[in-house]
Structure 1
Amino acid sequence: MAIGMCAAVLWVGAAVPAEAGAQHRRAHWALKDTGTNARFRGLAAVDRSTAWLAGSQGTVLRTSNGGRSWHDVSPPDASDLEFRDVEAFGPQRAVVLAIGEGESSRVLRTEDGGATWSETFRNTDPRAFYDCLTFFDHRHGLAMSDPVDGKFRILSTSDAGRSWRVLPSTGMPAAEPGEAGFAASGQCLVSAGPRDAWFATGGARVGRVFHSPDRGLTWRVADTTIPAGEGARGVFALAFRDRRHGLAVGGDYRADQSSAQAAAATGDAGRTWRAAGAPPPAYRSGVAWLPRGRASALAVGPTGTDLTRDGGRSWRPFDTGSFDTVDCARDGSCWAAGEKGRAARIE
């Protein structure tokens, strides 16, 4: 599992989390043994000590000591579920999303660190397929499904995930033929602030990003510079550091296909997108802003991690290890997770 972890360590200075008084350190992903081979595409970084992972075969793990040990807090009888997203609100409360057609799409919730779980939503529409979820605060959140009757479907909660309702589709622009979201990293639907949300798509003529300023009631859509055109191509992940400044990454997830123009950025809430002048060299499935650098962010994928220090205009290699998703906490700590039980924290 250590292959590639330290081969591309760079001097990145204050662009990555550092202890007080240390302006320049060699930052790198330090692997944390999870004791499992599950693939983790769902990740919630609470702080330097606490993180949640959600993945294949109904697996949910939690650490409260910086990854030195992991507690298996998987819901009972969930081994046939594919968890692709997790939103956590501390060491005790979390919401996880299982993806798939029909009743495979479910939302589960815990208030006691995963000791017990309650299923709060099960999709009964065979046409729906939920991909991602996000929360604006501890109470208000959304989940996104691939198009039903030609429009993406939005699920809403206002009671911390205890109950959910499908929002009206009248404010949703029509989807294009073949357009869908990607349940690759838990970052195809994101939010910033109390009301703004965005979701990303692929499969149609170009990767697109939808934006809602009112918690999912109305949406507008914009083309990005990330190519699509096939079911394996498009925008896979978004990150917004505030309601105006956002990043998009993606490409073609097939290993034998190139992913030119795999990153873009916006400074106007997603109305327009500009291509990165020096994009990541391959498909990237996850992206996160670094809390202690307003222009710095990380993008991850199966072939490595890339760093931007200029708001997404250019990216440079940071590491060659495989990860599917990345998340940074408010205290400056950053975590990543992926295939074969891989989990890491920047140190």
Structure 2
Amino acid sequence: MTLRGTLSRTAAACLAAAAVLTGLGLAGGPAHAGTGATGATAAEAERRHLPGWELKDTGSQARLRGLSAVSRDVAWASGSGGTVLRTTDGGRSWRDVSPPGTAALEFRDIEALGARSAVILSIGPGEDSRIYRTDDAGATWTETFRNDHPDAFYDCVTFFAGGRHGLALSDPVDGRFRILSTSDAGRSWRVLPDDGMPPAQPGDAAFAASGQCLVSAGRSDAWFATGGGATARVLHSADRGRTWTAAESGIPAGDPARGVFALAFRDARHGLAVGGDYRPGNPSPDAAARTRDGGAVWTPARKPPPAYRSGVAWLPHTPFAALAVGPTGSDVTFDAGRTWHGFDSGSYDTVDCTAGLGCWAAGEQGRVARLE
């Protein structure tokens, strides 16, 4: 798909994006699925190309909805059947480091705390919601939390800068979303008081689709996304989960299958939200929004992705470029979420990027790819 001039809102935006994509080896190389402007003029746009995913053979058939990129060489992925995978050579080979005795669990989120340390979250009602931690690259795992409340259903986990403090999110219990907190890098957890949490709407829930329904930035700011209720909201905490404020995202909800599925914040103010209706074939209008004030106000994308998207991530070293993925394809923005442009039709559920210019995506049937 040719994008004449659409990405030249400002020369700075385009040049920043061009610098990142050039560093990734994406500018000026062979076209993968179309062309896109990463330069400052329409003529340059014609000569440049959109990024492309390169599939990596994991040897797994699990649906991998959990993903944590450490670098262009090291990444973790987790998913169905109690599966946890790890690569240290850029995806050329993968080691199955699944915890023993967990084949019945769904590891929908994984957070790497380093090349050898990680925390995984299994979702589900009651005792199906668990957290495990490893410090030896997955050779051994320690169960550090098992839910004992029959109404709790944990969806996502996140860690703040530094890796010691983290949160996990459960669907509402007694009318309010439940927050789990750690201050020792996931070795122990406690349920936070809910008096600082706004009431949930009827039908409110978080979507455990990509490990990105709960995200953080810096040392104290966190956000989580909702759907299923009358409106799809984003809730923000500036004090590590103790108190929260809610804002409407503008992404349609009003149905158990619709809402915000994933968030990404590049700092405490600038964020992206994606979602829609996850049912195949159902339309997902206004499936993306952006904020510039920490989530107090959300603005719908002028040109959103064409269908439901379950994962989103900022590209490193630019304030303007980001990726979104879903079962029907991938999209890129070069103007901080105002407009999105498709570049790949493959199925992915989640995406993650690192400061070292390593961007990864994962999804069904063991699919993992790296941006090349």
Q: Out of 70, 79, 84, which is 1:46 matched to? A: 70
CA RMSD of aligned residues (A): 1.7
Alignment of 1:30-179 (within 5 A): 30-136=54-160, 137-179=162-204
Structure 2 counterpart of 1:214: 239
Count of residue pairs the alignment pairs up: 340
Structure 2 counterpart of 1:280: 305
Q: Out of 297, 302, 319, which is 2:327 matched to? A: 302
Whether the 8 Å CA contact 2:65–2:363 is kept in 1: the answer is: yes
Structure 2 counterpart of 1:19: 23
**Distance apart, 1:22 and its partner CA:** 8.1
**Distance apart, 1:20 and its partner CA:** 8.1
Alignment of 1:235-274 (within 5 A): 235-274=260-299
TM-score by length of 2: 0.89
Counterpart CA distance in 2 for 1:175 and 1:190 is 19
TM-score by length of 1: 0.95
Structure 2 counterpart of 1:339: 364
Structure 2 counterpart of 1:185: 210
**Distance apart, 1:21 and its partner CA:** 9.2
Structure 1 counterpart of 2:230: 205
Whether the 8 Å CA contact 1:120–1:163 is kept in 2: the answer is: yes
Structure that is richer in strand per residue: 1
TM-superposition CA deviations, 1:178-230 (whole Å, max 9, x none)? 00000000000000010000000000111100000000000000001100001
Whether the 8 Å CA contact 2:67–2:361 is kept in 1: the answer is: yes
Counterpart CA distance in 2 for 1:334 and 1:256 is 28
Uncovered stretches (5+) of structure 1, i.e. residues with no partner: 1-7
**Distance apart, 1:19 and its partner CA:** 3.3
**Distance apart, 1:293 and its partner CA:** 2.1
Whether the 8 Å CA contact 2:276–2:284 is kept in 1: the answer is: yes
Counterpart CA distance in 2 for 1:266 and 1:55 is 30
Structure 1 counterpart SS, 2:18: helix
Whether the 8 Å CA contact 1:15–1:309 is kept in 2: the answer is: no
Whether the 8 Å CA contact 2:24–2:357 is kept in 1: the answer is: no
Which of the two has higher C-alpha Rg?
Answer: 2
- The residue type paired with residue 19 of structure 1 is G
**Distance apart, 1:23 and its partner CA:** 5.4
TM-superposition CA deviations, 1:232-260 (whole Å, max 9, x none)? 00000000000000000000000121000
Distance verdict in 2 for CA 1:101–1:35, change over 3 Å: same
Uncovered stretches (5+) of structure 2, i.e. residues with no partner: 5-13, 30-48
Q: Percent identity?
A: 66
**Distance apart, 1:15 and its partner CA:** 6.5
Whether the 8 Å CA contact 1:97–1:107 is kept in 2: the answer is: yes
**Distance apart, 1:28 and its partner CA:** 1.1
Structure that is richer in helix per residue: 2
Counterpart CA distance in 2 for 1:15 and 1:201 is 35
**Distance apart, 1:10 and its partner CA:** 8.8
Structure 1 counterpart SS, 2:81: helix
